[in-house]
Every structure is written in C-alpha cells, then in structure tokens.
A and B are shown apart, each in its own frame.
Chain A
C-alpha cells in the first residue's frame, strides 16, 4: 500500500485568502449602498470599471510572469484593490481616470513589486495619490448629495457623464455641482478649508448648507455605513481592532487637543471623524495586511501615526483629506516598526533566570 506523506498539521480552518478578500468586499456593501443613495449611480459604474480593469490587468501580468493565472485571480486581491480605489474617487469622474488608476495600482504598485504579499505600498492608495497629483481637477469633482443638488440625475445620466462628460440632457459636471442655493458645492472638508482660509471661524463655516450641525449632509451617513461594515470585519476576525482603533482614537485625541486650544480655528474631533473618509480608511484601507504592520504593538503605532498624519495634513497641509498620503507615509515606516515591536517570546526575559 502506497501512503501519502504530508507534513503536519493535517487540519486547516478553511478560510483562504480569497475568502478573506471577499469578506472585506462584502463588508463594504453597506457603505456602497449609502454612497449610491446620496451621490448617485456613479459609484456603481466606477466599481464595475475598476473590477474589470483590475482583473484584466492582474491576469495579463500573471500571464506575462507565467504564473497560475486562475489561482491568482481567485485570491480576489486585485478585485479588492480596484473596489477600494473606485469608492474613493468622485463618482462622476471620467471613465479613463479609474482605468488608469486601477491599472497603475495593479501593474505598477502591486505586480512590479512582486505581486500579492510583496508590495510595499497600499495599491489602492498609491493609485489614488497618482491620480490626485496627475488629475487634480477630476479627482476633486465631487457632486453634492442628490437632495442638495439643483439637477437630479439618474443611472443613465451617470453613465453619460462618466463616458462623455455630459448628462443625457446636456448638463456638464460643473452644472451638476451647483446646489439648490445656486452656488457650486464642494465636499465638507473642502468647504471648511476654503472658509477657514478666507478668515471665517469654524462656526461660520458650519453655516454652509452642506452641513447639518457639524455633519456633512450625506457624508456622515456614508461614513457610518462603512463603520458598520468595518465592525463586522472586526467581529469576524478578518481584521484586528488594533489599526482602526488606534487610528480613530489618535485622530480624535489629536484633533480634540487643538480644538480645545482654539475652537474657532481647529475643527472638533467629531467633525474630523464623520466628514471625509477617515472611517473608510481606518477599517478598509489602513488594514490592508500586506502593507501594514504585522505585530500588534506595531499595528497600534502604525494606526495612531496614520490618524495623526491625517489631522496634520487636513489642518496645515494642502489637501482637504489625507488618508492616502498618511497611509503611504506609514507604509514606508512599516519595516522599522515591525523590527522594533517584536513581542516577547514565551520563556524569554522572565524574572526566572535563563539557564
């Protein structure tokens, strides 16, 4: 009788990489629904474009590298990177933007570095930063939430804007940005930055119709929806609490300290957390295992530093939101953090003298 020889363990918990990636994608669904509800069907179209580009790029490169393409596609890591980029960019951005961005993320940031597991930078965020620097106009063209917009738009309009730049009925993206009050609308963080730079106080800036109390209309709901998905990820142990927890707490404390110091100049902690994409970043982006720290203490440092960087860049930097930059900066620090945060091994450095 010929026997099979295999090394132990012979048991496996059957949660493979593909499953992990898929769970993350499912967890993003509540946020995507909210985003579609408030900002139109653009998001869904962007997601389709991104998934298509990501899979095709990944397949093409794995063919070039003579790898098992089917297996690589089935780990869903390319699809997830595409999805995250798609939900980060303005829903009505032109089609080529997401295609270029996704291609860059997968081909350059991920595969050129050696593929899954070897990329130093978060592919989605590197792609985002590349787009933001190369195409600043398109990358900041966020439409106001539908109920605040003067022109309503439907799925067909979204399709038209993305592929031609105009809606079915001939409105341009600039016209779509006009709110019910007749002025061009921007994102809550944009508004705050602009108003503060013109010498208004925080309280005055919050009078803008995009805000309801301190919450950006629509934006806050989208953020909380992502929070829901994120908590689900923590619950299912797909991600650990360390990175999102430390990131949100650090941002909260850091922003809070400045707010207490000068409430007119520095926005409150809560404002920072619900407006912009810090929650999406904390649960879905900074937790990308490949480019994040791998030790628990390291994760806390990594997350906290991202949180602080976000507030620094938002407050004093040139960009209204800063998830991508903060994440990339800390990606570079990961090897160092990991090296200095090795946990104490069982039986080492105990008070009992080692023999």
Chain B
C-alpha cells in the first residue's frame, strides 16, 4: 500500500513529495521575529526549574535547600528508565524547593527547584565525549539521557529512549518544518547553528545507522534550507528536503506521510514504518551534550506578537519566569484589553495562567498578540454542517460528527469516529465558519473518556478483588466442611472397625440384664403362684421391658434383623438376575456367533 525505499528516494530526488489530506494556510507572520540574531538575555534573579519537564517520570532530587549549585549541575538523578534529569541553569543557591505555577494550560503547581543566581554563571565540570565514535553505544545514550534531553519540538519525549531501540531504520527524519505561524526559533537556530545541528545528526546516525537521513524544512525558510544544505554537503547519506508550506506539515504523522507516503499505524510508532523523527533543536542539544558535554539548560524562545515592541528570538535559560522575557521583549500592555499570553503558537499553544510560569524544555514561543491581530473568538454559532472542518482535517476524521457526539456526551460514538486519532492541530476550528471551539470539545471528551476508563478500570479491579474474596470465603467454607466431613467419616470408620466388639459388649450386657430379670421374675412367680408363663408370651414381654429400659440399641438390633432379611432378599433377587443375565448372554453370544459366522461366510 505504501511506497518502498527506492521509490521514496526516487521521488525525493525529483522533488515530487506526497501530500497529506486537509491542512490550512494561516498567515505565517514569521518575519515579525526572524530577522534578528538570537539574542542572549540577562539571567533572572530567580530561576524556577520544574523537576519534570518531559513525558515520563521525574528523577529523584539530588539537592537540598541551602545547597550551592554550579551551572549545569544535575538537580535530579535519573533512577528510572523514563526519568530525565534537570540541571541548574546557572550557578547559585538553592533557596527553595516548592510547588510553583507550571507551564501547563491548567497552571497546576509543579515541584520546582528555585535557584537564586550568584551572578558568576560558573560551569560545573563538563565531560565531553569528543571521541564518541569509539565508545560503546550505551555510553552515548547514557550521556544523552544524563544531559537531560527530551524532544524539543513539543512533545517532550525522552530522547534516549527513542535512540536506544531502532532496528531496520530506513529514514532518520530531522524535523525543521516549524509549521506553526509566528514561531521562528527553529528557523533562527538552523540559520545560525546549522553546523552544530549537523554534528547532532552525526551522533544520531552513529547510534541508529539509518539508510537515509532526511532533513525536512518548509519552503518558507529558504535561508535555513541553504545553510543546512551547506552543512550537510559532505554527507552523502544526508538529504535536505524542501517541504511545501502547509499547516500542520510539521506534525510527526503528517511529515512521515509527506516524505514517504507511509502512515504510522494507529497506536503504532514511526519505527513501525521504518522512520524515526527528531527535532532540529533536539539535534542541537545532542551535539551540545556529546561534543561539549553541556547539559540542556537553555533553549531558543521566540518572543512575538504585536504586543511586543521588540519581537525577536532569545536564548532563555530553563526556569526563566515568563515575565522576565516579557520585560526583555518590551511587552506593551496597551495593545491588549485584557492580557493574553500564549505559550507556543497560535494554532496549538495555550494561554498561560500566570506570567510567573517558567520556561521549560518544550517552550518554543511566547506569543502576545494585539487584540486586533488575533481577535478573540465570538460565541459559537450553530453548526451548519458545511464540513469545512472535514476538508481541513489532516487525519481524515469527521470533526463535525465528533463534535455532535462530544457535545451530546455520546462517548462510545466518538470513539467509533476515532476521536483518539485527533492530533489537536486546530485546523478544523481554524476554518469553522460558526467559530465553534472544536478542539476544546474534543479535549473535554478525551479527558472524560480517560476518566471513565480509569473509573471503569478501578471498578473492574474492585470487582476482581470482590470476586476473589468471595471465592476465598467459599473455598474456606468448603475446606472447613470437607474437614468436618472427613472427621465424621473417620469417626464412623473407627466405630465400624471395632463395631463388632462394641455390639458384642452391648449384646452381652443385654443378655446379662435379661437373664437377671428372668431369674428375678421366675423367682417372683415361683414365689407368688408357682405358675409358669407360656413360652409364647415371653418374647413380647421381654421386648416390651427391654424397650422401656434401652430403647435405642434395641431398635438398632431390630433394624439389624430387618437388614439381614432385606439382604437375603436382595441376594436372592441378584442371584435370579445373574441367572437370567447368564441365559441372555448365552443367547446373545449364540446369535453373535451366528452373525459372525455369517459375516465370515
């Protein structure tokens, strides 16, 4: 169904790439910020370094309040495969370790290490791996992890995990697309540091050994295309590809489709179709980590939007509070009726809850638009079912149906329409003539479904626990009953085993008692009248007396007599049956013999 390696190479060489469905063409607005060099800005007095800035788990804190730290010193240890450490962005004093407003749409406080800069900005001891080619792979991967590198394009996935397992890699794709309007941090980085980006790619190539490296850059960045082409000139395996500008061409799934025609399977990974993708910023950071030994402590951040008097790109230390950047870019509050600061671009970025939120590893842009520049949406109107959203959707979903079902909370239906394949690029909401915040509805539906799943999971676990308990109780009960049964059986058996003796004793006792009584009665009778009782009456009387005295044993013996009688009858019946059967068998065997004989004939 998809193109093979040779066809892809052929198509790339004649510059005829594939396309992804849908997509939109928002005004680029990149010139606002991409005309000046990336500027190095002052270090803030206080840096708030969140201990977790990637997808995965946080490392264990390795500093305490009152510690003095050097620039680049690890603040957490990666004690888990999915942990990525964070580092001190500058030298100074750890003044606090506390929750601080996060760079997240919710603003929920995250644990941060607060560092008061001492102004010296003194590096910790660095351990570059200049001769990495001669080192084992594991050492290089470990160095990447220790440098705190996670995907810098937006997702923040730990880079060392991506590099550690890649069999049969055909295409190593370096993502320099930067399709979001306004943002130009990757653009500037490529223009100014193409060489170092190439060094990073070299490291990746050494680790992953792909058949081909594709450096993809959108054709609205001709300067970056040129510089990277020059940087990659000597490497025959590297190909810099110009990709037509269309949002969201920089999405991982979309870029793989554009370059190779292949689709990453649902719930799959790029490696399933022979691809692996890294952002140019990540490559830059890898080069820093391996060649210089420098951990990730700063990144390029675009300050843009008409509310900045000086829109530009800056090197911002991780942990820099956003208001420090606003001051630097000369943010003009008069351009906004109510302050609105977006972290990220206009399509997928989120509004910050506080200007005290810190810069993190995935912060590529701070956008402060003037009110007339990106007017706030009006209230949504009724959906007119025009399907402009479906035409814009890069995942070929039906955003309108998803919207109806999300709104009606028919979550099973939303999953039937593949809600979870939505990449939240915002193309649908961008084109919606009724200005329905479609992505917002999907996020809500997704969150609700996840919650439902969790609850279902919990309920399921509770059910299993309950059933296990019921089972256990039942088992215990059965075990007890079995124990009792066995005990009773043992008792009966022991009774039966010496049963004869016991019965004899009873019988003997009875006989003795009887004899005594008879003797006594005879004596009395003889004494009283001398008459002899008829032998016929005797047993009856005797039995009556015995019944009075010892009812139970008598009954037993009586039953015994009855049983013996029954047994005799049964034996007779069985004998008769056996006789009959023998006769029948004989007849049968005769006929069978005849039959056999006939068959033989």
User: Using a CB–CB distance below 8 Å, which chain A residues touch chain B?
Assistant: 1-13, 15-17, 19-20, 71, 75, 77, 115-118, 240, 289-290, 292, 294-296, 338, 342-348, 350-355
Contact, CB under 8 Å: B2 / A346: no
Closest-CB distance, A208 to chain B (whole angstroms):
42
Contact, CB under 8 Å: A4 / B347: no
* B432-448 near A? 1/0 per residue, CB < 8 Å: 11110101100100000
B253, B390, B443: the one contacting A294 at CB < 8 Å is B390
B105, B265, B430: the one contacting A355 at CB < 8 Å is B265
Which segment, of B86-94, B309-317, B335-343, B495-503, faces chain A?
B335-343
Given A290-B384, A345-B396, A353-B265: A7 and B421 within 8 A (CB)?
no
Contact, CB under 8 Å: A346 / B395: yes
Which segment, of B31-39, B225-233, B375-383, B581-589, faces chain A?
B375-383
Kindly list chain A residues whose C-beta atoms are within 8 Å of the C-beta of B401.
294, 338
Asked whether B426 is an interface residue with its Cβ less than 8 Å from the other chain, the reply is: yes
Closest-CB distance, B155 to chain A (whole angstroms):
15
Kindly list chain A residues whose C-beta atoms are within 8 Å of the C-beta of B105.
5
Bound-state Cα–Cα, A204 to B435, Å: 56
Bound-state Cα–Cα, A207 to B157, Å: 77
**Identity of the chain A residue whose Cβ is nearest the Cβ of B24 in the assembled complex:** A13
List of 9 A-B pairs having minimum Cβ-Cβ separation, nearest first:
A9-B426, A117-B382, A7-B440, A289-B386, A11-B346, A351-B1, A4-B340, A347-B266, A346-B395
Bound-state Cα–Cα, A350 to B396, Å: 14
Contact, CB under 8 Å: B386 / A20: yes
* B252-276 near A? 1/0 per residue, CB < 8 Å: 0100010000111111100011000
Quick one: which of A11, A71, A289 has the most chain B CB within 10 A? A11
Quick one: which of B26, B369, B434 has the most chain A CB within 10 A? B434
Given A19-B433, A290-B384: A9 and B265 within 8 A (CB)?
no
Quick one: which of A5, A292, A346, A347 has the most chain B CB within 10 A? A346
Asked whether B355 is an interface residue with its Cβ less than 8 Å from the other chain, the reply is: yes
Contact, CB under 8 Å: B377 / A354: no
* B316-353 near A? 1/0 per residue, CB < 8 Å: 00000000000000000000001111101011111111
**Identity of the chain B residue whose Cβ is nearest the Cβ of A240 in the assembled complex:** B391
* B400-444 near A? 1/0 per residue, CB < 8 Å: 110000000000000001100100101001111111010110010
Bound-state Cα–Cα, A348 to B355, Å: 41
B272, B369, B384, B421: the one contacting A116 at CB < 8 Å is B384
Kindly list chain A residues whose C-beta atoms are within 8 Å of the C-beta of B352.
3
Bound-state Cα–Cα, A10 to B346, Å: 5
Closest-CB distance, B437 to chain A (whole angstroms):
5
Closest-CB distance, A174 to chain B (whole angstroms):
42
Kindly list chain A residues whose C-beta atoms are within 8 Å of the C-beta of B387.
240, 289, 294-295
B1, B253, B431: the one contacting A13 at CB < 8 Å is B431
Given A2-B339, A7-B440: A342 and B430 within 8 A (CB)?
no
Contact, CB under 8 Å: A20 / B346: no
Given A75-B381, A346-B396, A354-B265: A17 and B1 within 8 A (CB)?
no
Given A5-B353, A11-B374, A12-B377: A350 and B265 within 8 A (CB)?
yes
Given A16-B433, A75-B381: A11 and B338 within 8 A (CB)?
no
Given A8-B439, A12-B435, A19-B433: A294 and B265 within 8 A (CB)?
no
Bound-state Cα–Cα, A44 to B463, Å: 72
Asked whether B565 is an interface residue with its Cβ less than 8 Å from the other chain, the reply is: no
Kindly list chain B residues whose C-beta atoms are within 8 Å of the C-beta of A10.
342, 346-347, 349, 351, 367, 369, 374
Contact, CB under 8 Å: B384 / A1: no
**Identity of the chain A residue whose Cβ is nearest the Cβ of B349 in the assembled complex:** A8
Kindly list chain A residues whose C-beta atoms are within 8 Å of the C-beta of B432.
12
Besides A2-B338, A8-B426, 8 other A-B contacts (C-beta < 8 A): A1-B355, A8-B348, A8-B350, A9-B348, A13-B24, A19-B433, A20-B384, A75-B382
Given A3-B355, A9-B439: A347 and B381 within 8 A (CB)?
no
Bound-state Cα–Cα, A106 to B342, Å: 42
Kindly list chain B residues whose C-beta atoms are within 8 Å of the C-beta of A352.
2, 262-263, 265, 268, 272-273
Contact, CB under 8 Å: A345 / B338: no
Interface residues on B, range: 35 or more
Bound-state Cα–Cα, A117 to B380, Å: 13
Given A17-B381, A117-B385, A346-B421: A1 and B339 within 8 A (CB)?
yes
Contact, CB under 8 Å: A350 / B1: yes
Bound-state Cα–Cα, A17 to B436, Å: 11
Contact, CB under 8 Å: A3 / B385: no
Given A13-B430, A343-B396, A348-B418: A117 and B266 within 8 A (CB)?
no
Kindly list chain B residues whose C-beta atoms are within 8 Å of the C-beta of A17.
381, 384, 433-434
Kindly list chain B residues whose C-beta atoms are within 8 Å of the C-beta of A7.
350, 437, 439-440, 443
Kindly list chain B residues whose C-beta atoms are within 8 Å of the C-beta of A294.
385, 387, 390, 398, 400-401
Kindly list chain B residues whose C-beta atoms are within 8 Å of the C-beta of A290.
384-385
Contact, CB under 8 Å: B396 / A16: no
Given A16-B434, A116-B382, A351-B2: A9 and B421 within 8 A (CB)?
no
Bound-state Cα–Cα, A1 to B350, Å: 17
Contact, CB under 8 Å: A3 / B346: no
Bound-state Cα–Cα, A118 to B381, Å: 12
Asked whether B394 is an interface residue with its Cβ less than 8 Å from the other chain, the reply is: yes
Kindly list chain A residues whose C-beta atoms are within 8 Å of the C-beta of B522.
none
Kindly list chain A residues whose C-beta atoms are within 8 Å of the C-beta of B128.
none
Asked whether B366 is an interface residue with its Cβ less than 8 Å from the other chain, the reply is: no
Kindly list chain B residues whose C-beta atoms are within 8 Å of the C-beta of A117.
382-385, 434
A-B contact pairs, 28 of them (CB 8 A): A3-B338, A3-B340, A3-B351, A3-B353, A5-B105, A6-B351, A7-B440, A9-B348, A9-B430, A11-B347, A12-B377, A13-B431, A17-B433, A77-B384, A117-B384, A240-B391, A289-B386, A294-B387, A294-B398, A342-B398, A343-B398, A345-B395, A346-B21, A346-B253, A352-B268, A354-B265, A355-B267, A355-B272
Closest-CB distance, B293 to chain A (whole angstroms):
37
Kindly list chain A residues whose C-beta atoms are within 8 Å of the C-beta of B174.
none
Asked whether B362 is an interface residue with its Cβ less than 8 Å from the other chain, the reply is: no
Kindly list chain A residues whose C-beta atoms are within 8 Å of the C-beta of B418.
345, 348
Contact, CB under 8 Å: B430 / A12: yes
**Identity of the chain B residue whose Cβ is nearest the Cβ of A75 in the assembled complex:** B381
Kindly list chain A residues whose C-beta atoms are within 8 Å of the C-beta of B379.
71
Contact, CB under 8 Å: B353 / A4: no
Bound-state Cα–Cα, A8 to B437, Å: 8
Given A117-B383, A295-B387, A345-B395: A3 and B354 within 8 A (CB)?
yes
Asked whether B397 is an interface residue with its Cβ less than 8 Å from the other chain, the reply is: yes
**Identity of the chain A residue whose Cβ is nearest the Cβ of B378 in the assembled complex:** A16
Contact, CB under 8 Å: B181 / A4: no
Kindly list chain A residues whose C-beta atoms are within 8 Å of the C-beta of B355.
1, 3
Kindly list chain B residues whose C-beta atoms are within 8 Å of the C-beta of A8.
344, 346-350, 424, 426, 439
Bound-state Cα–Cα, A220 to B200, Å: 68
Contact, CB under 8 Å: A4 / B351: yes
Closest-CB distance, A159 to chain B (whole angstroms):
35
Kindly list chain A residues whose C-beta atoms are within 8 Å of the C-beta of B386.
20, 289
Bound-state Cα–Cα, A17 to B388, Å: 11
Bound-state Cα–Cα, A294 to B403, Å: 13
Bound-state Cα–Cα, A115 to B263, Å: 40
Kindly list chain A residues whose C-beta atoms are within 8 Å of the C-beta of B347.
8-11
Closest-CB distance, B367 to chain A (whole angstroms):
8
Contact, CB under 8 Å: A348 / B443: no
Closest-CB distance, A18 to chain B (whole angstroms):
8
Closest-CB distance, B493 to chain A (whole angstroms):
61
Contact, CB under 8 Å: A347 / B351: no
**Identity of the chain B residue whose Cβ is nearest the Cβ of A341 in the assembled complex:** B398
**Identity of the chain A residue whose Cβ is nearest the Cβ of B369 in the assembled complex:** A10
Closest-CB distance, A109 to chain B (whole angstroms):
15
Given A10-B374, A16-B433: A350 and B351 within 8 A (CB)?
no
**Identity of the chain B residue whose Cβ is nearest the Cβ of A19 in the assembled complex:** B433
**Identity of the chain A residue whose Cβ is nearest the Cβ of B377 in the assembled complex:** A12
Closest-CB distance, B239 to chain A (whole angstroms):
24
Kindly list chain A residues whose C-beta atoms are within 8 Å of the C-beta of B421.
345-348
Bound-state Cα–Cα, A55 to B177, Å: 48
